[in-house]
């Protein structure tokens, strides 16, 4: 395993719109922040639902947790994926980022 394969990331999400106040064209920006030196990886999704299905598969998030993240983003805040039991950020491998479309 080379050093690149051993990189781990935490994930943040934020809501993006084409025009301020235009809820019809909302998308989600997913940012993978490296745990150490390296560049963040970004991906954009046109709708919340396709992304929520991917997150459920990769992060084992419950639907309620996804709803809370969405409400956080609608309020204009960045939502981090956290472990609800410990409050710690969830850490993702490069293979999990590939499943989310953030790495090739």
Note the pLDDT tens digit of each residue in 54-92: 787 776 666 777 788 888 888 989 999 887 778 888 889
HSE of 87, CA atoms in CB hemisphere, 13 A: 0
Regarding pTM above 0.75, the answer is: yes
For residues 52 and 62, the answer to whether their CB atoms sit within 8 Å is no
Of residues 25 and 97, the one with the higher pLDDT is 97
Work out the number of other CB atoms within 10 angstroms of the CB of residue 88. Answer: 10
Instruction: Report whether pLDDT(28) > 70.
Output: yes
Q: Say what the pLDDT of residue 102 is.
A: 84
Instruction: Report whether pLDDT(1) > 50.
Output: no
């Amino acid at each position: 395993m080379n050093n690149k394969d051993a990189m781990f990331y935490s994930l943040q999400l934020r809501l993006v719109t084409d025009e301020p106040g235009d809820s019809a064209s909302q998308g989600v920006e997913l940012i993978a922040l490296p745990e150490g030196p390296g560049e963040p990886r970004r991906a954009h999704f046109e709708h919340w639902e396709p992304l929520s299905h991917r997150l459920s598969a990769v992060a084992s998030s419950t639907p309620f947790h996804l709803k809370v993240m969405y409400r956080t983003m609608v309020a204009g805040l960045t939502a981090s994926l956290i472990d609800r039991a410990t409050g710690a950020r969830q850490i993702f491998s490069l293979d999990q980022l590939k499943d989310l479309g953030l790495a090739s």
